[in-house]
Amino acid sequence: MNISLKGKNVLIGGSSRGIGRAIAQQMAESGANVTLMARNEAKLKSILQQMPAQDGQKHRYLLVDFNDFEVYTNTITAFFKNQHIDILVNNTQGPKAGGAMDMRISDYQEAFDVLFKSVVLTTQLALEYMVKNQWGRIINVASISVKEPLSYLALSNSIRAALVTWAKTLATDVASDHITVNSILTGYFDTERIKDLNATKAQQLGIPIEEVRSNMEQQVPMNRIGNPKEYAFLATFLASEQASYITGTQIPIDGGLLKSL
């Protein structure tokens, strides 16, 4: 099966590193015109230079900070006044780690702005063209923690669960417009985010970070951490014509880590 996204315009959040970057690379290789979106301009410029550009492909970047919702609102609204996209990958940085008793009300509000409000706003803006064009793909980067909460990720557990249920509702609303909405439930992947979380856990437990990673690998039936490229293959498939009858789903990609159905 040859997946082609030729002629499609894609906007990918958090694409300066990790999973977002891998998705951007794979979708570009599949022919899409990619707009990177993150807050590190130096990294965005560097990645842009490395992305394939054939048959008239045009890639660009949008400098945003998901941590400042007011500024983000202005930036993303201005973008959609002059641009349209066919495929939206909602991906933001994860909130800080910690248990439910470690968090203040303000922490939950900040996480809500980053993980939920920014995603809903961006999606609403993107949908205007998708509905007119009667075609679109919305892909949300979520987490397996919405099915099996992780004790040290109270903010992520809570807000990502809200995002996934919102996406399920939206999928029903826009299905007749040939727009699909799917969420990917992320397991353990070899990213900077995992390294940061492992470092925090190692410090809390007083053990080497290598031991934390080894313990994590042993939890996965495949006995390894995922490669972001593997994640990108799934996201690219969901963005394609071949996935036109898949919507409203929450697809785990976790090497078999989830124990629930």
Radius of gyration of the chain (CA): 18
Listed range (99-103, 123-127, 244-248) with the worst mean pLDDT: 99-103
CATH of the domain at 132: 3.40.50.720
Mean pLDDT of 68-78: 97
Q: Quick check: is 217 in a domain?
A: no
| pLDDT tens readout for residues 147-204 | 999 888 899 999 999 999 999 999 999 999 999 999 999 999 999 888 887 888 888 8
Rounded-to-integer distance, Cα 53 and Cα 47, Å: 12
Judge whether residue 34 has pLDDT over 90: yes
For residue 156, which of 206, 101, 98 has the smallest C-alpha distance? 98
174: left (phi over 0), alpha (psi -120 to 50) or beta: alpha
For residue 143, which of 101, 179, 210, 97 has the smallest C-alpha distance? 97
Identify the pLDDT of residue 96: 82
Q: Quick check: is 69 in a domain?
A: yes
What is the average pLDDT value for the chain, to the nearest integer? Answer: 94
Rounded-to-integer distance, Cα 198 and Cα 212, Å: 6
Q: Quick check: is 44 in a domain?
A: yes
| pLDDT tens readout for residues 102-141 | 999 999 999 999 999 999 999 999 999 999 999 999 999 9
The structural domain count of the chain equals: 1
Q: Quick check: is 220 in a domain?
A: no
Q: Quick check: is 210 in a domain?
A: no
For residue 113, which of 168, 70, 64 has the smallest C-alpha distance? 70
Q: Tokens in use for 141?
A: 């980067």
Q: What is the pTM of this model?
A: 0.95
Mean pLDDT of 239-260: 97
**Which residue type occupies 76?**
I
Q: Tokens in use for 68?
A: 């400042």
For residue 9, which of 49, 56, 74 has the smallest C-alpha distance? 56
Judge whether residue 242 has pLDDT over 90: yes
Tokens 């925090």, residue located: 200
Determine the structural domain holding residue 237 and report its residue range.
Answer: 9-189+227-253
More confident residue, 197 or 25: 25
| pLDDT tens readout for residues 212-241 | 899 899 999 999 999 999 999 999 999 999
Mean pLDDT of 204-217: 89
Work out the widest C-alpha separation in the chain, in whole angstroms.
Answer: 56
Output helix, strand, coil percentages for the chain, rounded to the nearest 5.
Answer: 50, 15, 30
**Which residue type occupies 51?**
M
Q: Quick check: is 211 in a domain?
A: no
Rounded-to-integer distance, Cα 117 and Cα 73, Å: 10
Q: Quick check: is 196 in a domain?
A: no
Whether residue 9 contacts residue 85, with contact meaning beta carbons closer than 8 Å, is answered with yes
Q: Quick check: is 111 in a domain?
A: yes
Rounded-to-integer distance, Cα 12 and Cα 87, Å: 8
Rounded-to-integer distance, Cα 170 and Cα 237, Å: 20
| pLDDT tens readout for residues 54-63 | 888 999 999 9
Identify the pLDDT of residue 113: 95
Identify the pLDDT of residue 200: 81
Identify the pLDDT of residue 64: 96
